[in-house]
Amino acid sequence: MQRIIPLLGPLGISRVSDVAALDCYVCTNQTGNVEKCLNTLRTCEPGEDVCGTEIRWGSLPYFSQGALKQYYVSKRCMTKQQCQAKRKRHMPYCTHIWYEDWSCHECCQGDRCNYFIISGGKKLSAMPTVTLTAVLVTLLTVARNFLP
């Protein structure tokens, strides 16, 4: 998107300049990449040159063991430096282990580039069921070998 910004030239004479402004999807702590996270756009401020996406798996208001867990998605405009620093801070906690609390942060450049969640959060929602099914099948197979 192009945004026209008035600039002061030499001797205080006003001139108009075309500046490319970045559009990012924005939302805060939404329960999944739905609704507001897919429908709310913001034109970033000058200097904000990337879109950031944070996805967390856990419970709110505090991440705690044993509490009901779900996805929380936040998206916003950021500077490249802010986004890279946040990504680096989240990296040790970006495990995608379904029974543990985790968080990941991604950065992207380009209009509306943070529409999709790169971490693949939606694909992970079936993991507890798949894992439980695999464990049950293994137990039944072992039990069948020991029964007459």
Number of domains in the chain: 1
Dihedral sign from CA coordinates of 36, 37, 43, 44: positive
Residue 96 binned pLDDT confidence (cut-offs 50, 70, 90): very high
Does residue 141 form part of some domain?
no
More confident residue, 108 or 14: 108
Does residue 92 form part of some domain?
yes
Question: What tokens does 134 get?
Answer: 């695999």
Query: Domain of 31?
Result: 23-119
Measuring CA to CA, which residue among 27, 107, 113 is closest to residue 72?
27
Does residue 101 form part of some domain?
yes
Q: What is the pLDDT of residue 2?
A: 43
